[in-house]
């Protein structure tokens, strides 16, 4: 059994979840909030961090220093089209994103989005588990594995899956507490 392959696939899912959850807005400004925004630039979609400097000068402000004056409108449009709910304020090539206080309704909405991200990634983990279990069942059917070895592999895969699902649950719980904290 290639335990490393299973763990690596599940770790990829876990790191994807962490990236998604870090992009959710809490009360504080963070560069991670704008990481997922893509900008139409030079005939293709580029990540925001490839068209300007992103910084957090204050706890409730993100600034973007756009390198090319021609792209300022595209960056503004990309921010407006994102689900951040922030209106950019532009001065020349500097775009300010002031973060308003989160009201109770928005906090609950963000908490639900975090739960959806968690559930989607748990489904991915379960799909990985099923993929490997099916592979081992086929090997057992082809007489390459004994029934005891199959059971041992399935138990091992389940332990790895449970560990990763628990980690997603812990990250989700922590993020939801952070979101709901006023």
Give this prediction's pTM.
0.70
Domain that holds residue 16: 3-21+103-180
Both 60 and 109 in a single domain?
Answer: no
Both 174 and 107 in a single domain?
Answer: yes
Question: pLDDT over 90 for what percent of the chain?
Answer: 57
Both 119 and 149 in a single domain?
Answer: yes
> Which pLDDT score, from 0 to 100, does residue 25 have?
67
> Which pLDDT score, from 0 to 100, does residue 136 have?
92
Condensed to tens digits (0 to 9), the pLDDT of residues 50-61 reads: 999 999 998 889
How many domains does one find in the chain? 2
Q: What is the mean pLDDT of the chain?
A: 89
Of 24-38, 91-105, 134-148, the least confident: 24-38
Both 170 and 107 in a single domain?
Answer: yes
Burial tier of 114 (Cβ tally within 10 Å: 0-12, 13-18, 19+): buried
pLDDT band at 109 (very low <50, low <70, confident <90, very high): confident
> Which pLDDT score, from 0 to 100, does residue 182 have?
62
Both 73 and 130 in a single domain?
Answer: no
Q: Among the three residues 42, 69, 98, which one is the final residue of a domain in this structure?
A: 98
Both 109 and 164 in a single domain?
Answer: yes
pLDDT band at 27 (very low <50, low <70, confident <90, very high): low
- How large is the average pLDDT for residues 99-120? 86
- How large is the average pLDDT for residues 77-93? 87
Tokens for 156?
A: 């091992």
Both 87 and 117 in a single domain?
Answer: no
3-state secondary structure 91-110: ECCEEEEECCCCCHHHHHHH
Condensed to tens digits (0 to 9), the pLDDT of residues 146-166 reads: 999 999 999 999 999 999 999
Q: Among the three residues 69, 98, 127, which one is the final residue of a domain in this structure?
A: 98
Instruction: Say how far residue 36 (Cα) sits from the centre of its chain.
Output: 9
Question: pLDDT over 70 for what percent of the chain?
Answer: 97
CATH classification at residue 51: 3.30.1360.40
Both 46 and 87 in a single domain?
Answer: yes
> Which pLDDT score, from 0 to 100, does residue 161 have?
96
Both 35 and 91 in a single domain?
Answer: yes
Q: Among the three residues 98, 113, 144, which one is the final residue of a domain in this structure?
A: 98
Q: In this structure, what are the phi and psi dihedrals at residue 145, rounded to the nearest 5 degrees?
A: -135, 145
Both 93 and 139 in a single domain?
Answer: no
CATH classification at residue 150: 1.10.132.20
Both 113 and 78 in a single domain?
Answer: no
User: Would you say residue 21 has pLDDT above 90?
Assistant: no
> Which pLDDT score, from 0 to 100, does residue 1 have?
62
Both 152 and 124 in a single domain?
Answer: yes
């Amino acid at each position: 059994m290639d335990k490393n392959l299973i763990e690596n696939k599940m770790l990829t899912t876990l790191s994807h979840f962490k990236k998604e959850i870090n992009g959710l807005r809490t009360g504080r400004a963070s560069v991670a909030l704008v990481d997922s925004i893509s900008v139409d630039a030079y005939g293709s979609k580029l990540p925001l961090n490839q068209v300007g400097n992103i910084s957090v000068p204050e706890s409730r402000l993100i600034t973007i220093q756009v390198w090319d004056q021609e792209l300022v409108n595209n960056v503004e449009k990309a921010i407006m089209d994102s689900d951040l709910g922030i209106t950019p304020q532009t001065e020349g090539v500097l775009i300010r994103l002031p973060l308003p206080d989160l009201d109770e309704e928005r906090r609950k909405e963000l908490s639900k989005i975090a739960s959806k991200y968690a559930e989607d990634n748990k489904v991915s983990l379960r799909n990985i588990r099923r993929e490997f279990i099916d592979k081992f069942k086929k090997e057992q059917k082809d007489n390459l594995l004994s029934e005891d070895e199959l059971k041992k592999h399935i138990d091992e895969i389940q332990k790895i899956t449970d560990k990763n699902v628990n980690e997603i649950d812990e990250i989700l719980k922590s993020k939801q507490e952070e979101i709901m904290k006023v």
